[in-house]
Amino acid sequence: MKKIHLVAGLLLAGAVVLLVISSSDLGTYYTFAEAELLEDDRNVKIIGLLSKDKEMIYRPEIDPNRFTFYMTDEAGEERMVVLLSEKPQDFEMSEQLVLTGRFRDGVFVAREMLMKCPSKYQDEEIFVRSEI
Amino acid sequence: MNEIQYIGETLWPGRLGHFLIITGFVAALGSTVAYYLAEKERDKTNSNWLNTANWTFTIHGISIIGLMGIIFYVMLNRMYEYAYAFNHVSDDLPFKYMFSAFWEGQEGSFLLWIFWHIILGWILIWKAGEWKPAVMTFLSLIQVWLTSMILGTYLPFGNGESRIGINPTVLLREVQDAPIFANAEYLELISGSGLNILLQNYWMTIHPPTTFLGFAACAIPFCYALAALWRQDYRGWLKPGLKWGLFASFTLGTGILMGSAWAYEALTFGGYWAWDPVENMSLVPWLIMVAGVHTNLIARSTGHSIRATMIFYILTFCLVVYSTYLVRSGILEDTSVHAFTEMGLENQLVFFILFFLILGLVMFFRRYNSIPTPQKEEDWNSREFWMFVGAMVIVIGSALITWSTSLPVTNAIMQFFDPFYASRVIEDPISHYNRHQLWVGMLMAFLTGISIYMRYRGANWEHYKKKFFSQTGVALLLTAVLTWATIQWIQVVAWQYILLIFAALFAFIVNLDHVLFRIKGNLKASGSAMAHIGFAMMIIGIMASGINKTYISSNVFAQSGLLEGMEDEDLLSNIVLIKGEPIFMRGYIATYVGDRFDGPERSFDIEFTRIDEDGREVETFMLSPNVIYDKQFTKIEAANPDIRRQPVIDIFTRIARLPAQQIDLESAREVEDSLKFETYYMSLGDTTFTSKHFVVLEEIHHSILHPEREQGSQEDLALSLKLKVHSLDSDSAYTIVPGISLRGSFVFRYPEQIDPFNLRVQLSDTLIEDLFHSEIALDYSTFLVERGETFEFGGYDIKFVDVNQDPWHPSYEPQTDDIALSAILEVTNRLSSAQYRTEPLYLIRDTRQTNYKTMIPEAGLHFRFTRIDPNTGQMTFKVAEQPMKVENLPVQIAENVPRTDFIVLEAIRFEGLNFFWVGSSLMMLGLLFAMIVRIRSKM
């Protein structure tokens, strides 16, 4: 066997080990119900839709890192969510939310959120020239 | 339905554009065939195919560049009948963003990519010599595929929805179905939607072209590799392949770095790299290209690694296309912040990748056994051995990144077979990628160091090994010392990180030694060492800035709410700054001083004072992050951070949030509607109690005193109340001057807000009605008076003391060419001897005479200065008496009003980030140097 093959084999083995170790970083999207049952402190991701009719509270003067709103997950369950951050720009326009966080004391506490907003490419509306 | 004859459309650019697309596509096909035939007839002296092929390729190039010209023309002239113009420009888009708007869309960025291939193709036609026909065959073939992306032809089969490419010159009404198109004059009514405000940035002008030049350059070594396999000439291509490989590494690397710089400078996530799928997939082709450049070097020096070089170059190009697929297919929508949405090109892109991947791999493996390799294998003590290992490390690292990034693709594939398959997702991307790239970086850095001390083929090893071991030993010792010092600075604890820093510093020292003592600063030979030193510095920068990234804007005393665990403390990144109130936060005192407008841009000045451990002030500096409103000030469109850059420490600030009233009109209206005003009837001098405050009406003025009164506005009637508001709980008090005025038929309100009291005061509209009536009801008496005279009115003596040439009146804004005078009147109450002074104002502006009245509220006297007789010098005054209503004035007061005088700030302190920027720039410089030296050298 060539030496280079030996090294290549070692490197590949290393890569496989890394792959196996880091595969524990992979998870599936959870629902609220599943996430609530978790016993460890792991952060999970939940996909859902913003409940636009429900209350959204952001009172920066009290706590600038606390924004609460309601989201309906893919199983159709609607829960209150606390986002440990400011209320993002154009939040009401979001179509889909991906939250990263975990349950604490019966409330889903999200540390990160990805918003999907309607893209202008999909916008069927034709902008009418404004009067101004 | 009848065809509508639309009015105002300009149709020739669309027709010409479509013609150019077809010509460009056909010419690309033609030049592929012609170059193919030219290659086949390479040995024939009378073959004319090469000439034909060059011309056909040139026609392709001219067509595409012409097409780009047409699209620019359509965009510049705001021809909104064209979808591309409609979607990417607007009436107010400045010319400097025209290029950005051009490549904002998918079609435009494909054109940019095609454009660079054309330019590079022309360079090849000019310079590539005997390799020309073979290389250009493959480049033309790539052009066929790329041009098909903008073809926009619907396929004759299927549901009529399948099409090839998207035509950039299509009309808006052809792609969108809206009722407005029933109107023949629809063009009069529509206006472009413009360029996304986040992309209105100078980086958007230079980052995409550079990155696409890099992508385009990645195709050239690929074409050379395929050409070599076709010709079975495995050595001749290595020299041009290396030059182009270096060029591609330099341009693509620079493009990626520009993206990082843009992210750090203009975007709000506070960093330069987020392991976002789109970022990753531009990095991976670059990494493989760099691996290819290294094996190419080995092949040039020793004849080893020709196969590896070929496979790396093939992979690079296929990964470039794969990256395009990921970015443009919409598959990353859930995981990336900057992916395009679906445009129906997915399948075409998949065929594009598969075509070239299969073509490359089939050609490679059919020739596999005929590719020469030296009989003797690489020795473990040779430079090529460790360089090759390094290249393998890069490729394995890239494979890991690609695997993780492709998760949405594997999900889609799995779901194709099993609809119930639950999508897998990376829970924390940054730590996930860091976990494996840490080891990759460590090995790369270490190999970068050790291989420099080796020699190609292990030449003269017996003689040399003593030197090798002593050099390495000294370097390791130095590295250990430097690592210790670095750890003191960065405060690392994890042994993995320490190891990584050690490896990086080792690479740094060895390469520095190489530049200083081996090649003695010979710039020509220093390209690789420069790049490697840069790489080492980059790692140090990544470690320092990553480990020492602190949110200084976190207030440890804030309500912790739901938090118990300490781990989330670092996440709490925002702090509320109230105007004028200094807040202490992690080593700094921050004060929100004020804000200012510059057009739609609103900057917030925040003063930072750094405090050392003994509580002494070290330095003071100002940062001004801003937000940008839209043109009509209806909402905030974007926020820009402000960064204080210093050699070692960067302070990054951004506005995370503003009070609801200042975000958009809708929120402002919501807040307004939620206020509960109560009306209090107040009399002059009285004190009125509300639930948390008491208010004293101190003065009544017949002018607007409010600071926000527009300069130069002329009120017909005005009323302000000077109120002193006291808190019931504390000693604090504020004086405010809410007002109300009438201008023509419009009522203007000047409410006042006391943010610390959460209190808002406005005057009731009925006040202006009362005032209006009273002005009509006034019964003026007229007096003709000369200077110095006294006249009598009611119980008062009124003395016209003098004329004031430099008059002042609360409602009067001086303009040039005004003739304005005021009369100084001394008024004495005969009974009480109380004296007052007043100055009614007389004004001639543009030949029109007007006057501004004055009042003595206590006396209830109204004065007007209405005329000057130029002949006699007599002045006309009008005086009326009407005791002013000073009782039961309706004042509306709301309590529990949300404050408007704060900002929510995020501030991050980075350490050693400049190591990253300097290091990565040095790496690019090294690549550029190496490239220039290779291009110039004759060998």
pLDDT of residue A131: 37
CB B435 within 8 Å of CB A23:
no
Does B135 have pLDDT greater than 80?
A: yes
Most confident of B226-235, B341-350, B887-896: B226-235
pLDDT confidence of B898, banded at 50, 70, 90?
confident
pLDDT of residue B342: 60
Could you report the per-residue pLDDT of B99-125, keeping only the tens digit for each? 999 998 889 999 999 999 999 999 999
Q: Which residues of A touch B437 (CB under 8 A)?
A: none
On the 0-12 / 13-18 / 19+ scale of CB atoms within 10 A, B294 is: buried
> Residue B396 has which token pair?
């394995």
pLDDT of residue B566: 38
Q: What percent of chain A has pLDDT over 90?
A: 16
CB contact under 8 A, B436 and A22: yes
Q: Which residues of B touch A27 (CB under 8 A)?
A: 424-425, 427
Q: Return the half-sphere exposure (C-beta side, CA atoms, 13 A cut-off) of residue B435.
A: 20
Residue B463 has phi, psi (to 5 degrees) of -75, -35
Q: Provide the pairing of β-strand A57-58 with B848-852.
A: unpaired
Does A129 have pLDDT greater than 50?
A: no
pLDDT of residue A127: 45
Give the minimum alpha-carbon distance from B191 to chain A in angstroms, rounded to a whole number.
Answer: 5
The average pLDDT across B839-852 equals 86
Q: Tell me which of B2-6, B126-130, B634-638, B731-735 is least confident.
A: B2-6
Q: Which residues of A touch B902 (CB under 8 A)?
A: 60-61
Could you report the per-residue pLDDT of B226-253, keeping only the tens digit for each? 999 999 999 999 999 999 999 999 999 9
Q: Is B190 on the interface with A (CB under 8 A)?
A: yes
Q: Which residues of B touch A12 (CB under 8 A)?
A: 396
The average pLDDT across B80-86 equals 91
Q: Looking at chain A from residue 30 to 59, which residues have their Cβ under 8 Å from any Cβ of chain B?
A: 41-45, 47, 58
% helix / strand / coil in chain B, to the nearest 5? Answer: 50, 20, 30
**Closest Cα partner for B502 from B535, B525, B479, B533?**
B479
> Residue A10 has which token pair?
């070692």
Most confident of B23-37, B491-505, B605-619: B23-37
ipTM summary value: 0.83
Nearest to A105 among B196, B428, B562 (CB): B562
Does B639 have pLDDT greater than 50?
A: yes
Specify the residue for token string 């007789």. Answer: B869
Query: In the predicted model, what is the mean pLDDT of chain B?
Result: 87
The three-state secondary structure class of B866 is strand
* CA distance linking residue B122 with residue B116, whole number of Å: 10
CB contact under 8 A, B425 and A28: yes
Q: Is A24 on the interface with B (CB under 8 A)?
A: no
Q: Tell me which of A16-20, B53-57, B459-463, B780-784 is least confident.
A: B459-463
Identify the closest residue of chain A to B186 by CA–CA distance: A128
The average pLDDT across B738-753 equals 83
Interface with A, mutate which of B334, B434, B906 (most A CBs under 10 A): B334
Could you report the per-residue pLDDT of B174-212, keeping only the tens digit for each? 887 778 888 888 888 888 878 877 788 888 899 999 999
Identify the closest residue of chain A to B437 by CA–CA distance: A18
CB B249 within 8 Å of CB B290:
yes
Does B558 have pLDDT greater than 70?
A: no
pLDDT of residue B482: 94
How many helices, marked H, and strands, marked E, lie in chain B? 21, 34
Does A124 have pLDDT greater than 80?
A: no
pLDDT of residue B339: 58
Does B388 have pLDDT greater than 50?
A: yes
Beta pairing partners, B153: B164
The average pLDDT across A61-68 equals 85
pLDDT confidence of B161, banded at 50, 70, 90?
low
Could you report the per-residue pLDDT of B237-296, keeping only the tens digit for each? 999 999 999 999 999 999 999 999 998 888 766 788 888 888 899 999 999 999 999 999
CB contact under 8 A, A11 and B389: yes
* CA distance linking residue B627 with residue B640, whole number of Å: 6
Contacts of B583 (CB under 8 A, 6+ apart): B555, B575, B577, B589, B590, B591
Q: Which residues of A touch B188 (CB under 8 A)?
A: 129
Q: Tell me which of B427-436, B566-575, B718-727, B730-739 is least confident.
A: B566-575
Other Cβ atoms within 10 Å of B830 Cβ, number:
11
Q: Is B428 on the interface with A (CB under 8 A)?
A: yes
pLDDT of residue B559: 39
pLDDT of residue A132: 33
Interface with A, mutate which of B572, B583, B667, B674 (most A CBs under 10 A): B572
Q: Is A131 on the interface with B (CB under 8 A)?
A: no
CB B151 within 8 Å of CB B143:
no
Most confident of B407-411, B865-869, B921-925, B932-936: B921-925
Q: Looking at chain B from residue 308 to 367, which residues have their Cβ under 8 Å from any Cβ of chain A?
A: 333-335, 337, 340-341, 343
Could you report the per-residue pLDDT of B420-446, keeping only the tens digit for each? 888 888 877 888 888 889 999 999 999
Nearest to B87 among A22, A104, A120 (CB): A120
Could you report the per-residue pLDDT of B21-43, keeping only the tens digit for each? 999 999 999 999 999 999 999 88
Give the minimum alpha-carbon distance from A72 to chain B in angstroms, rounded to a whole number.
Answer: 17
Q: Is B882 on the interface with A (CB under 8 A)?
A: no
CB contact under 8 A, A132 and B380: no
Q: Is A9 on the interface with B (CB under 8 A)?
A: no
* CA distance linking residue B196 with residue B104, whole number of Å: 9
pLDDT confidence of B929, banded at 50, 70, 90?
very high
Four-point Cα dihedral B749, B754, B760, B762, nearest 10: -30
CB contact under 8 A, B439 and A18: yes
pLDDT of residue A38: 84
Could you report the per-residue pLDDT of B508-527, keeping only the tens digit for each? 999 999 988 888 777 778 89
Give the A:B interface size as CB pairs under 8 Å.
Answer: 165
pLDDT confidence of B715, banded at 50, 70, 90?
low
Residue B241 is which amino acid? G
The average pLDDT across B860-883 equals 85
pLDDT of residue B231: 94
Q: Provide the pairing of β-strand A78-83 with A107-116.
A: parallel
Q: Is B409 on the interface with A (CB under 8 A)?
A: no
pLDDT confidence of B619, banded at 50, 70, 90?
very high
pLDDT of residue B555: 60
Q: Which residues of A touch B396 (CB under 8 A)?
A: 11-12, 14-15
CB B169 within 8 Å of CB B82:
yes
Q: Is A23 on the interface with B (CB under 8 A)?
A: no
Q: Is A20 on the interface with B (CB under 8 A)?
A: no
CB contact under 8 A, A100 and B427: yes
pLDDT of residue A4: 83
pLDDT of residue B560: 41
**Closest Cα partner for B622 from B599, B585, B595, B597?**
B595
Q: Looking at chain B from residue 148 to 177, which residues have their Cβ under 8 Å from any Cβ of chain A?
A: 172, 176-177
Give the minimum alpha-carbon distance from A34 to chain B in angstroms, rounded to a whole number.
Answer: 13
Does B660 have pLDDT greater than 90?
A: no
pLDDT of residue A123: 38
Q: What percent of chain B has pLDDT over 90?
A: 44
pLDDT confidence of B500, banded at 50, 70, 90?
very high
**Closest Cα partner for B735 from B708, B682, B779, B699?**
B699
Nearest to B424 among A19, A28, A120 (CB): A28
Choice between B702 and B729, residue whose per-residue pLDDT is larger: B729
Q: Spelled out in words, what is the top-level CATH class assigned to the domain A27-116?
A: mainly beta
Interface with B, mutate which of A16, A45, A55, A65 (most B CBs under 10 A): A65
Does B157 have pLDDT greater than 70?
A: no
Give the minimum alpha-carbon distance from B436 to chain A in angstroms, rounded to a whole number.
Answer: 6
Q: Tell me which of B162-171, B231-240, B263-272, B463-472 is least confident.
A: B263-272
CB contact under 8 A, B424 and A122: no
